[in-house]
A = this chain, B = another copy of it.
Amino acid sequence: MTTIATAATRRPTFDEMNLSTGKRTRLHRLMYEHGPANGTLMMLPIDQGLEHGPVDFFDNPASIDTDWIYRLAVEGNFSGIALHIGLAEKYQQKYAGRVPLLLKVNGKTNVPNDDDAFSPLTSSVEDAVRLGADAVGYTLYVGSPAQADDIAQCNEVRRECDRYGMPLVVWAYPRGVAVKAKGGIESLYAIDYAARVACEIGADVVKLNEPVWDAAGAAKSPKPYDTLEFSDVEGLRRVVRSAGRTLVLVSGGSKMGDEATIHKARIAMEAGCVGLIFGRNMWQRDWNDALSMARSMHQVMNDHGQDQA
């Protein structure tokens, strides 16, 4: 049976990433001036209202108020907050300078199905510059039948990022009918491919889901993925390697229990990821629980600092 690479990888340095002065300055703010400030990232995303609708806010009704999320970002000492232009314009002002902004520049609703998923632009890199953001986020649906439009649109965003020295964070999500047929969106095949695509098209950071071992799904994947078995940390190490000199953030996904959440964070950091971008697992809790979970995340991060070099 084919085996997968499992050796822990030192994260790429700014020098290795060959970052421009602007990108380096902004990533420095996110990684060494806010949040854990030790070279890791602890991002708080609040774009679920567009992606899933207000359903995600029922578990903790306070979370529907974006100002509550901002308070959590500040009190929980996150590295940055990730959201769309409408929220940035109307809620960032009070916290400007206190929590870095990652402007999500594309998105969509989940009302129609995801067979040919594609997220149009909701704002631009110029908007991000104007708002003092330190990064932009772009969702690329890897493997979607709409990939031609998606890669082309991402290329335009990348170009603007190069122009303005703005770090590009790619939400690299496998999607579409062909992905389903080849093992599904959580398969190692699909996420490993997504990691590599993000790297090749020029992402500075890639947001990935954790690959999930599932024999039935894997069997539908191309060789050698069809017979590859792996633990959680092995799966993540593999995708970290495929991402190359692109830093990896792990998504939180649906809400889990406290221990599972902390475990996922620890695994991610051990696998060589640069950090976490957990949303529902942070703010689908009441205030005290949320702050407590943020503290737990900081503890995990403390063990994984790395100099900028």
Binding site for B on A (CB under 8 A): 2, 5, 12, 16-18, 47, 49-50, 53-55, 57-58, 61, 64-66, 83-87, 89-93, 107-109, 111-113, 118-124, 127, 142-145, 147-152, 155, 158-159, 162, 174, 176-179, 182, 189-190, 192-193, 195-203, 222-225, 241-242, 244-246
Residues of B within 8 A of A199 (CB): 49, 86-87, 90
A155 adjacent to B5 (CB under 8 Å) = no
Interchain CB contact (< 8 A) of A143 among B57, B112, B201 = B112
Residues of B within 8 A of A148 (CB): 108, 118-120, 149
Residues of B within 8 A of A147 (CB): 108-109, 111-112, 120
Interchain CB contact (< 8 A) of A202 among B55, B89, B142, B178 = B89
Residues of B within 8 A of A198 (CB): 86
A242 adjacent to B54 (CB under 8 Å) = yes
A54 adjacent to B196 (CB under 8 Å) = yes
6 example contacts (A-B, Cβ-Cβ < 8 A) are as follows A18-B89, A55-B224, A84-B200, A109-B142, A112-B143, A120-B152
* Known contacts A50-B201, A200-B84; is-contact A178 B93 (Cβ 8 Å): no
Residues of B within 8 A of A244 (CB): 64-66, 87, 90-91
Name which residue of chain B comes closest to A168, CB basis: B86
Task: Report the separation of the CA atoms of residues A177 and B147 in the bound assembly, to the nearest whole angstrom.
Answer: 19
Identical copies of this chain, number: 5
Residues of B within 8 A of A149 (CB): 120, 148
Name which residue of chain B comes closest to A120, CB basis: B152
Interchain CB contact (< 8 A) of A108 among B151, B176, B182 = B151
Name which residue of chain B comes closest to A150, CB basis: B120
B111 adjacent to A155 (CB under 8 Å) = no
Task: Report the separation of the CA atoms of residues A47 and B197 in the bound assembly, to the nearest whole angstrom.
Answer: 10
Task: Report the separation of the CA atoms of residues A213 and B158 in the bound assembly, to the nearest whole angstrom.
Answer: 43
Task: Report the separation of the CA atoms of residues A17 and B85 in the bound assembly, to the nearest whole angstrom.
Answer: 13
Task: Report the separation of the CA atoms of residues A235 and B5 in the bound assembly, to the nearest whole angstrom.
Answer: 41
Name which residue of chain B comes closest to A16, CB basis: B90
* Known contacts A55-B223, A147-B109; is-contact A121 B64 (Cβ 8 Å): no
Interchain CB contact (< 8 A) of A245 among B91, B121, B192, B201 = B91
Name which residue of chain B comes closest to A18, CB basis: B93
Residues of B within 8 A of A245 (CB): 66, 90-91
